[in-house]
Amino acid sequence: MTKQTKKQQQNLNSLTTGIITVGLDIGYGVVKVVTNETSFTFPSVMGHAREIKFQQESIQQKYPGDQISDDEGMWFVGDLALAQLPPGELLRLRGRTANEKTMGNTFRQRLAKVAIGKLVQGMWGRDVVHLKISTGLPVDHMRDAAELKEALLGKHLIKTDSCEVIAHVTDVIVMPQPYGTAYSQMLMPTGEINVYHTYMRTGIVDVGTYTVDIALDDDGEFVDSESGSVESGVYTAQERISAMLERDYREKMPYKIIEQVLRTGVFMASGNPVNYSDEVEDALLPLRSATVNLMSEKWQRGTTVDVIYLSGGGAELVCEQIIEAYPQAKLVSQAQMANARGYLSYANFARGKT
Ligand SMILES: Nc1ncnc2c1ncn2[C@@H]1O[C@H](COP(=O)(O)OP(=O)(O)OP(=O)(O)O)[C@@H](O)[C@H]1O
Ligand SMILES: [Mg+2]
């Protein structure tokens, strides 16, 4: 994330003159941001800011753009929120409570503002930046698209620890999330058609933190009856690993450690590696079966699906089992960023057409 800053400095002048096109994937766990110049991620968490009594400046430098203020107060977001706020104060974009529609979009709007703030770091004086946002919602939440569009369109004051600008969002495109992945394969990053993608019926499986989303595209047409979501995801494995480590060591382990055990199968106990690979395999069972069940519910044995693209931060954890059942499945490269990349490609494609 610090890498982008230098490049951004060089681009600051061009930012005020041109339009920044952003592929923005606001996940339940992680926000993914891609532009034609840069890409970065940050955790989808926030909480009310606290006064930092010590090392204020170095904390600010370590988490640039993670403090934002708006009508509802001052907020810590992303890695800063994870590092400085107690778990009980962290808000996440999760669940389908009755007010998820309005709350969800306020939450998404704030995360979008943080993302924009990070893109224009170092700009002050309320200069106006023009943006075009291409984004997505889970398949089963697409009915909220109009409201999300409304929340993002127009002028927003963005005031963070590292910028103060007026963001003028002139265009918003909202698509079902897995379509991002589809466009990342069907289009070139610049928006031209990828001539090597010759499939007619393309399936997409997006394994995220809290949802597994699948979609089917038939030669450019979204097939609703063969698309859908389930509330499963990487968190199911993380919860099991967390409970198991707490049982074995009588301590609650931080998220980073749980993630490491999940990825490597090894837990470092007081400096000694302990093999947890069998337990990790067990912990992954619910995610693997939820994913394969959703696929077979929507696509049966997949005989009529020409290619299946696997994306999302959880894709590599389930791809082996999926490929066994559906040999036409492929893990896309940089799977976690695939939706955001495709949103951007699509925006570039749409611009090329007008
Ligand atoms: N830098 C990284 N590289 C690879 N995997 C990561 C990285 N950071 C997080 N992950 C893994 O990816 C998972 C999150 O995946 P992803 O970003 O696709 O979820 P999400 O989009 O936030 O969730 P959802 O799609 O349910 O809204 C995390 O739980 C973690 O296991
Ligand atoms: Mg996602």
What CATH number has the domain bearing residue 168? 3.30.420.40
Task: Give the residue, by CA position, lying nearest to ligand 1 atom 4.
Answer: 313
Q: What is the Å distance from ligand 2's center to 48 Cα?
A: 25
Range of the domain at 347: 3-178+341-353
Counting from 1 in the atom list of ligand 1, the atom nearest the Cα of 41 is: 1
Q: Which of 89-98, 315-324, 339-348 has the lowest mean pLDDT?
A: 89-98
Domain for residue 94, yes or no?
A: yes
- Range in 79-88, 167-176, 201-210 the model is least confident about: 79-88
Q: Does residue 213 lie in a domain region?
A: no
Cα torsion at 266, 268, 272, 274 (round to 10°)?
A: -30
Residue 14 in this model has a pLDDT that exceeds 60: no
In a domain, 7, yes or no: yes
Q: In ligand 1, which atom is closest to the CA atom of 32? A: 17
Residue among 34, 142, 209, 231 whose CB has most ligand 1 atoms within 8 A, to mutate: 209
Q: Does the structure show a pLDDT above 80 at 353?
A: no
Q: Decide if pLDDT at 2 tops 60.
A: no
What spacing in Å lies between the alpha carbon of 229 and ligand 1's midpoint? 16
Contact 309, 303 (CB under 8 A): no
- pLDDT tens-digit readout, 260-273: 999 999 999 999 99
pLDDT tier at 59, thresholds 50, 70, 90: confident
Instruction: Examine residue 67 and state whether it is found in any structural domain, yes or no.
Output: yes
Query: Is pLDDT of 3 > 60?
Result: no
**What is the pLDDT at residue 17?**
65
- Mean pLDDT for the stretch of residues 167-185: 97
Residue at 289 is within a domain: no
Q: What is the pLDDT of residue 284?
A: 98
For the chain, what is the mean pLDDT?
92
Q: 313 CB under 6 A from ligand 1? A: yes
Q: Please state the domain count of the chain.
A: 1
pLDDT score at 94: 76
Task: State the ligand closest to the CA atom of 28.
Answer: 1
Q: pLDDT tens digits, residue range 145-154?
A: 999 999 999 9
Q: Which of 336, 337, 341, 343 to mutate to test the pocket of ligand 1 (most atoms within 8 A of CB)?
A: 336
Each residue's pLDDT tens digit, 272-306: 999 999 999 999 999 999 999 999 999 999 999 99
Of 25, 234, 262, 309, best ligand 1 pocket probe by most atoms within 8 Å of the beta carbon: 234
Rounded to 10 deg, the angle between the 285-299 and 234-249 helix axes is 160
Residue nearest to atom 10 of ligand 1 (CA): 313
Distant-in-sequence contacts of 145-150, Cβ < 8 A, 24+ apart = 145/174, 147/101, 147/102, 147/105, 148/105, 148/108, 148/172, 148/174, 149/174
Q: Which residues pair with 40 in a beta bridge?
A: 33
Structural domain includes residue 80: yes
Ion ligand 2: protein residues whose beta carbon lies under 5 Å: 27, 208
Instruction: Report pLDDT digits (tens) over 94-116.
Output: 754 445 556 688 899 999 999 99
Distance CA 323, CA 48 (A): 44
pLDDT at 349 over 50: yes
Whether 60 maps to a domain, the answer reads: yes
Higher pLDDT, 212 or 102: 212
Strand partners, 172: 133
pLDDT tens digits along 226-253: 999 999 999 999 999 999 999 999 999 9
104 lines ligand 1 (CB under 6 A): no
In a domain, 218, yes or no: no
Neighbours of 66 (CB within 10 A): 29
**pLDDT score of 139 more than 90:** no
